[in-house]
């Protein structure tokens, strides 16, 4: 039997659940997205195969929360179990793109793209842990921390008129073996519990596992995907629950009270993840600025789990940040029944080396139908600026009229979620010297 009291079991179970939640969610997501079928949703396709989004979502799109209207996605789930995968990238002609590679712990461990490797054609060999083969000339080696990797590419897209050029770039992306061979598209051997309903959303599947199922699944994944070297202390504590790398988790060693405590700990962890979502960001001018410990989390396990809940696959902040409006200038919730303005002085415009945008969502983080079929505005749109270079953006149900209409995002009724996106943000947007100006209700 486990030599811990029920309260001790619950406390350690909460720690373990938070630690493993990203790993389990990534594996469930991989299983859902690579299952056989004809789905064309963003990110879905066979193993080692690129799947491309060819157009922006329409008003009825619900496959992914908070979709962006700035880039088209190219995604692939890589299985490096049999050896490296080579990624060929065409010359983008100066076009901004990023190709984040995420390990199974959700860390963006490498990000080829304009900011890092430039926009000329490139070839990258993505090597599994421990691989000691030869890297061909003209090829950049990237060492993956885990044998499964999620590639989530984003390519700058300047509206529907730009689709053809972006699709040409997407079609130039290639995955192959080191000798140019077609990599296997077979599903990796699953270590998931039997009977998972892969037609459901990944988070619903993960949250529906019993604690014993979850920890058993996590222990099997831990045997496959090495933890970070800095995880020693966390794993030493979790060993008291019988979670040891390379060993099965045995739920039968817990008595009834301890098994109930495992469930209580898992539920406590889920609630903690949701609370953390609203407390971990720095709030400035009514905007949540999540610019710290994003994309690469170190031992900040709670943040890693919280981000998994709301934005699996988050970028490193140097590539993109996403300020979220949480209150108006008076500290009140922002709702679609009121009209608002956001005023940028000329020197307050979002500081970026690529581009920026603002997107309007409903309370469920989906775009809503509106008379203009407009869901986002940004610096690539024909915005109307003041004579002094200032900019006013309008949010709400009422068309402000005249030249202001060009700067208006129509709002649905109810609570709103307004997200700003800064691609390749400059240092002042990362260190707090710049924050978005407040959103003020108009009278």
- Position 23 scores a pLDDT of 98
Give the β-pairing of 122-127 and 85-89: antiparallel
Half-sphere exposure at residue 166, Cβ-oriented, CA atoms within 13 angstroms: 23
List 52's β-bridge partners, or say none: 74
Per-residue pLDDT tens over the stretch 18-57: 999 999 999 999 999 998 876 656 778 999 999 999 999 9
6-26+191-277 belongs to CATH 1.10.3360.10: yes
Q: Measuring CA to CA, which residue among 206, 277, 226 is closest to residue 17?
A: 206
- Position 353 scores a pLDDT of 97
Burial (Cβ within 10 Å: 0-12, 13-18, ≥19) of residue 149 = buried
- C-alpha distances in angstroms, 269 versus 15, 56, 120, 259? 7, 35, 45, 16
- Position 44 scores a pLDDT of 85
- Per the listing, tokens 């064309």 go with 40
347-356 in b/e burial notation, b at 16+ Cβ within 10 A? Answer: eebbbbebbb
Q: Measuring CA to CA, which residue among 172, 152, 44 is closest to residue 99?
A: 152
| Calpha distance 27→201 (Å, rounded) | 13
Mean pLDDT, the chain cut into blocks of 10 residues (443 residues total)? 92 98 97 80 86 92 85 96 97 98 98 98 98 95 98 96 98 96 92 93 95 98 96 96 96 95 98 91 95 94 95 94 96 97 98 98 92 96 97 98 98 96 97 97 88
- Position 1 scores a pLDDT of 75
Q: What is the CATH number of domain 36-176?
A: 2.60.40.1610
Q: Which CATH class is domain 282-441?
A: mainly beta
**Does residue 192 contact residue 184 with C-beta atoms inside 8 Å?**
no
**Does residue 107 contact residue 144 with C-beta atoms inside 8 Å?**
no
């Amino acid at each position: 039997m486990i030599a811990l009291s029920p309260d001790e079991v619950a406390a350690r179970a909460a720690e373990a659940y938070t630690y493993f939640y990203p790993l389990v969610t990534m594996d469930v997501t991989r299983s859902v997205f690579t299952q056989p079928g004809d789905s064309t949703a963003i990110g879905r396709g066979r193993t080692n195969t690129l799947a491309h989004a060819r157009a922006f979502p329409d008003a009825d799109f619900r496959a992914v929360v908070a979709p962006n209207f700035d880039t088209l996605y190219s995604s692939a789930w890589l299985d490096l179990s049999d050896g490296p995968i080579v990624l060929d990238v065409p010359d983008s002609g100066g076009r901004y793109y990023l190709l984040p590679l995420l390990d199974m712990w959700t860390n963006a461990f490498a990000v080829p793209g304009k900011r890092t490797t430039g926009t000329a054609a490139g070839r990258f060999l993505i090597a599994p842990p421990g691989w000691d083969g030869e890297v061909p000339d003209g090829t950049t080696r990237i060492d993956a921390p885990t044998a499964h990797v999620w590639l989530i590419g984003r390519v700058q897209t300047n509206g529907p008129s730009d689709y053809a050029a972006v699709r040409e770039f997407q079609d130039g992306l290639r995955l192959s073996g080191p000798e140019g061979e077609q990599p296997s598209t077979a599903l990796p051997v699953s270590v998931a519990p039997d009977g998972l309903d892969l037609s459901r959303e990944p988070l619903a599947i993960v949250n529906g596992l019993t604690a014993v199922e979850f920890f058993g699944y996590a222990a099997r994944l831990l045997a496959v995907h090495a933890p970070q070297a800095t995880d020693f202390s966390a794993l030493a504590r979790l060993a008291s629950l019988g979670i040891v790398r390379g060993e099965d988790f045995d739920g039968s060693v817990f008595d009834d009270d301890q098994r109930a405590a495992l469930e209580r700990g898992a539920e406590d962890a889920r609630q903690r993840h949701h609370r953390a979502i609203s407390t971990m960001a720095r709030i400035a001018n009514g905007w949540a600025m999540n610019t710290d410990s994003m994309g690469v989390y170190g031992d900040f396990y709670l943040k890693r789990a919280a981000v998994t809940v709301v934005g699996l696959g988050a970028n490193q902040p140097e590539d993109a940040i996403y300020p979220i409006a949480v209150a108006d200038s008076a500290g009140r919730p922002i709702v679609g029944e009121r009209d608002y303005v956001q005023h940028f002085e000329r020197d307050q415009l979002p500081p970026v080396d690529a581009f920026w945008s603002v997107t309007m969502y409903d309370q469920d983080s989906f775009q809503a139908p509106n008379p203009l079929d407009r869901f986002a505005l940004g610096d690539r749109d024909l915005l109307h600026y003041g004579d002094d270079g200032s900019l006013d953006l309008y949010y709400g149900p009422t068309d402000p009229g005249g030249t202001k209409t060009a700067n208006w995002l129509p709002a649905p009724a109810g609570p709103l979620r307004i997200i700003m996106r800064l691609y390749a943000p400059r240092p002042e947007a990362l260190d707090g010297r710049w924050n978005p100006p407040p959103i003020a209700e108009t009278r």
